[in-house]
Structure 1
């Protein structure tokens, strides 16, 4: 044991005190304080105390371990180390009273190392510094040092001379000087004070050794340097900041330290540069024979040379008048108004006529006529418009192997040969893109044909033009290719429930808000093959949106809002937080000319996953909602939890006609109702004016793409169904005739005793969909039936909702008979007469159920009237098979009073009374 403040022969710290350390749990990386065996307080930063070597030990993760001040000096130091977890090997820096005295090695094995000849007298503070160990986490144990007492020297005769501070980029200042002339007493070393305030540089005091602090991040610092070293630097400097320095000679150490204070020590100052976040990411000095890096159709050992530079910052970077130099001189000067968006690259080719997308990067050719990169090695230096070096890299013979050298991984890694770095296909270069050919920004690929797309932005502070600038835009006052024509970028106005033309493509896109754009085949309306056709790749360079996003929603009941995925990753609809918003999402699919829907259980939108850049519709619930929708980063499809019915029953119906197809879905869940519910999905007409096929089921007069029904059906139900085909004509959509095939590719988890049939009322054919695989019929053209639509008459959901006319009868019906588990001899009676049951509950508010029986197949109508005989609601108007049924009336919005409901069928009129009380 050693005693604080008393000279001792040896310090032996075994870290047994870490078991009682303060500063958080043993397994957390925090600043820990503990009492050593000497009774003094040790402090470890970014440390854990739950590790061992041969007993309790201290682990550092990019932190330091500082001893208390202990008298008696230090002659040598020994330490046992071992790296914890994964990582490599390295060295820990050891300082005594601020002076570096050596390093201690570590790796994945237990090892003991020593530093001898330290020989510092007086009070000493030892610091073990792991801040250069990158991601390694070394464990320290059994720290031993021997005491040392030497003779006391006189004050040094002279100061250092020619003390100079020189900025070196945005976060470094180099300090240099000429060692003091020795005179009668040479100094042992120098103490240098640094500060952002020239008036705050202190004068050192004899017999008081200041504590070393090489980090200037708090505005002040102190560094000790041994005599014989004529340079030093501090860490933690800020960009564009002036720093002041003063150097003093001293002899001895600890409580014996003796400073030369008369005359005062020399001073110096310098200002750091601004710090652009930019890297040289790829260098192609030796284009191989037969390779065409710049895409101009030719091969050239000079034109195909390139340097790729990437803005890794979070703001746009103006590099106008910056330059690229090599060991010979200037090779390229960037033109005026050259600006890099966050994450965007610029590629400087040696020459030629570069042709290609290059990941959306900027592409130029060397202003000097060539880059002149030497195959055997060269310097590549990026300088700002003031001539200061911003980034540089020196390569050797590795640059001359018929391939580029590139950072691996991109932007942050060390340089490697490209064919080695590209583990996918060993490509030789990737100008403007990452190693694997993907964009540095967020890329959107648009496939298919001309037509409308629903889009959103995954980045902040980008404009519509940033995204759409490479494709044709028209009809917009500011930023479009032409201001004439119908606007092909449209925003949804929740006040009018309709689309309105964008007015300025220079406006910033809003996170979480969707919009639509009509994508033409030709990007500049010249009909040239070079820029026409699909796919099209659009790129955004910027900062990905982060945090929660809550788009502004329409506030009316049943109203729609066009929102969008705000992230650069797929999100899961089932994980979104919503209130007074239905459980169904609508995503437009240009390829199928229709909407993909999902209600948490079934639909065409696979698992409810919404891609990056995708806009989508959400609908409010009925009544007077206070809707809200919150999209969180946890909603990305790689995480989150959503509770839903286990193994729900679902049916998927598919209809096909020539190249057209469409789907309708049934889900059977605990939230399902025979009437309309919040997990039904409406059938919406397409945005695009082209042929389409439609299949839908009906609830009242509303056509559904998803019909969510009760999982516990206990009576037979028949659901009307429409299958329609439309083609285009000058006046709008008109019915298309021809052969249509119905199939049911998905019948999941259906109860064994259910019976499900499809009835074609036109032909009288009934098909058991549990035993048959398809049904084919002929659709006839309906003369005079027109759905108004033109190319640019964009349908909002309000106008796109397909409703059934009250005088139209559905051609098809899907009958689901729950059945019972009975023996073959049991007799099940079907109703032989029409019956209209008394509603229940009665009185009611606002929902009531009505049971009725159909004696024979045929058209059935149920209508509600008030006491004046005026029609209030039509609950049913369809063809039903003989059977027992139930229908629900939701009287929201209807005044209290007595009402009559009437069942009408061929030869039958039945009426009952009910009471609504609110």
Structure 2
């Protein structure tokens, strides 16, 4: 291996860079710089004379329960997942989680030649890849496909996407279905291993009694009170912002409140007003970690599971920005005791307006975070120095309920 031109990664309960050997049937990550190979930018390989793998009996892949297995298909033709099953004949999709990599982890319907896959199950010890096809091979036992079962008014799912720069993690979802269990079942998916440099959002179920693990998808049974999910986000401190969007909130019963709680910063956001959340990727470490909680349910349920954060403010406040001093961006939090109109302006030491983060915006009661990236109204970076941010908040009757200014320092 040449660390300046290419690197090879294996996985065995953790990443192993440049393994001393490769094993037939396993899958690997290969990273290379195409600029170093101008005559062969797609970088083809020559493995010499190959060996044909018989299709009868099916090719077996040994797996360890509860651990990720990186593997590939031995055949030079596509194999549908309908013909991939565990030792008891259960379809691979019903007995665990399977992904492939294409810039980010994605779902799988077919095993293709020369492609790599990862698989994890709570109980299986062997996968059978049946290359004989549906007419001659064994078809896996398939349970009822939930995608073919219509949801009623008490059922809903919310897709969650985390993104920063060109990195995205979009295979995440929570929700409730009648056919689900509160523990692990075929509606759930395990969280795949984190790839260095990528953004990661995962559901932390490691504290629960049944099937404790990290999940990408967690669907539970409906109940009258509600549910909450503890989330973790890992994002590179690249000076950008991380955006988390929630798709499907409109299907949640109207009598439920929906809050995203940042347990790291002790802040909360009412997602019924805006179905996204963002924060600045700042910090001294290579990665920034944010512990979040998505809580959906009645007001009493939400208050009982608020992670120690007051979700319904009892005052109008303007908090000190964080971090301070800052570079390249900082966060400013405002709390609204009731529905109000918000105006938030940045000034320099001369009292000149630099930019406006909120222009007479009407917002419902709750907590709100504004991010300033150290630029003026035309997008130019400001100089190092002291700046002020001023909040003017008016209630629904037009009366000023907060008129406050705070100081912050921008460093280059």
Q: 1:681 to 1:748 in 2, by over 3 A?
A: farther
Of 295, 309, 317, which aligns to 1:815? 295
| Equivalent residue, structure 1, for 2:62 | 553
Query: What is the distance in 2 between the residues matched to 1:721 and 1:857?
Result: 14
Does the alignment pair 1:659 with 2:171? no
Unmatched tracts of structure 1, length 5 or more: 1-473, 476-483, 597-603, 727-734, 788-807, 820-828, 832-852, 860-878, 883-918
| Equivalent residue, structure 1, for 2:32 | 520
Deviations 1:206-264 (A, max 9, x none): xxxxxxxxxxxxxxxxxxxxxxxxxxxxxxxxxxxxxxxxxxxxxxxxxxxxxxxxxxx
Of 140, 145, 153, which aligns to 1:644? 145
Tell me if the contact between 1:683 and 1:696 (Cα under 8 Å) persists in the aligned partners. Answer: no
Within 5 Å, give how 1:571-610 maps onto structure 2. 571-573=79-81, 576-579=84-87, 582-589=95-102, 591-592=103-104, 596=105, 604-605=106-107, 608-610=109-111
Query: What is the distance in 1 between the residues matched to 2:274 and 2:134?
Result: 40
Tell me if the contact between 1:570 and 1:612 (Cα under 8 Å) persists in the aligned partners. Answer: yes
Q: 1:697 to 1:539 in 2, by over 3 A?
A: same
Secondary structure of 1:696's match? strand
Unmatched tracts of structure 2, length 5 or more: 313-412
Query: What is the distance in 1 between the residues matched to 2:6 and 2:278?
Result: 42
Query: What is the distance in 2 between the residues matched to 1:574 and 1:747?
Result: 33
Tell me if the contact between 2:9 and 2:15 (Cα under 8 Å) persists in the aligned partners. Answer: no
Quote the offset at 1:773 in angstroms: 4.0
Of 696, 706, 712, which aligns to 2:202? 696
Query: What is the distance in 2 between the residues matched to 1:485 and 1:768?
Result: 45
Higher relative contact order, structure no. (Cα contacts within 8 Å, ≥ 6 residues apart)? 2
| Equivalent residue, structure 2, for 1:501 | 19
Tell me if the contact between 2:295 and 2:305 (Cα under 8 Å) persists in the aligned partners. Answer: no
**How many pairs were matched up?**
287
| Equivalent residue, structure 1, for 2:128 | 630
Q: 1:519 to 1:760 in 2, by over 3 A?
A: closer
Q: 1:855 to 1:647 in 2, by over 3 A?
A: closer
Tell me if the contact between 1:584 and 1:681 (Cα under 8 Å) persists in the aligned partners. Answer: yes
| Equivalent residue, structure 2, for 1:529 | 38
Tell me if the contact between 1:725 and 1:737 (Cα under 8 Å) persists in the aligned partners. Answer: no
Deviations 1:160-212 (A, max 9, x none): xxxxxxxxxxxxxxxxxxxxxxxxxxxxxxxxxxxxxxxxxxxxxxxxxxxxx
Within 5 Å, give how 1:64-79 maps onto structure 2. none
Of 750, 764, 773, which aligns to 2:267? 764
Secondary structure of 2:39's match? helix
| Equivalent residue, structure 2, for 1:419 | none
Tell me if the contact between 2:6 and 2:31 (Cα under 8 Å) persists in the aligned partners. Answer: no
Within 5 Å, give how 1:853-892 maps onto structure 2. 855=304, 857-859=306-308
| Equivalent residue, structure 2, for 1:888 | none
Tell me if the contact between 2:72 and 2:115 (Cα under 8 Å) persists in the aligned partners. Answer: yes
Query: What is the distance in 2 between the residues matched to 1:659 and 1:546?
Result: 40
Within 5 Å, give how 1:246-325 maps onto structure 2. none
Query: What is the distance in 2 between the residues matched to 1:635 and 1:492?
Result: 32
Tell me if the contact between 1:741 and 1:777 (Cα under 8 Å) persists in the aligned partners. Answer: yes
| Equivalent residue, structure 1, for 2:383 | none
| Equivalent residue, structure 2, for 1:715 | 225
Q: 1:530 to 1:573 in 2, by over 3 A?
A: same
| Equivalent residue, structure 2, for 1:724 | 234
User: CA RMSD, aligned part only?
Assistant: 4.6
| Equivalent residue, structure 1, for 2:73 | 565
Which one has a bigger Cα radius of gyration?
1
Quote the offset at 1:584 in angstroms: 0.8
Deviations 1:508-564 (A, max 9, x none): x74xx22315243469xxx46323x3x345688865753453434244x42332222
Query: What is the distance in 2 between the residues matched to 1:579 and 1:754?
Result: 43
| Equivalent residue, structure 2, for 1:830 | 300
> TM-score with structure 2 length normalisation?
0.54
| Equivalent residue, structure 2, for 1:81 | none
Tell me if the contact between 1:718 and 1:880 (Cα under 8 Å) persists in the aligned partners. Answer: no
Q: 1:548 to 1:774 in 2, by over 3 A?
A: farther
Query: What is the distance in 2 between the residues matched to 1:640 and 1:572?
Result: 10
Secondary structure of 1:566's match? coil
Q: 1:669 to 1:491 in 2, by over 3 A?
A: same
Tell me if the contact between 2:7 and 2:17 (Cα under 8 Å) persists in the aligned partners. Answer: no
Quote the offset at 1:498 in angstroms: 6.7
| Equivalent residue, structure 2, for 1:617 | 118
Tell me if the contact between 2:37 and 2:43 (Cα under 8 Å) persists in the aligned partners. Answer: no
Quote the offset at 1:654 in angstroms: 1.4
Q: 1:502 to 1:749 in 2, by over 3 A?
A: farther
Query: What is the distance in 2 between the residues matched to 1:719 and 1:777?
Result: 19
Secondary structure of 1:514's match? coil
Query: What is the distance in 1 between the residues matched to 2:46 and 2:255?
Result: 54
| Equivalent residue, structure 2, for 1:847 | none
Quote the offset at 1:738 in angstroms: 3.6
Secondary structure of 1:692's match? coil
Q: 1:611 to 1:748 in 2, by over 3 A?
A: farther
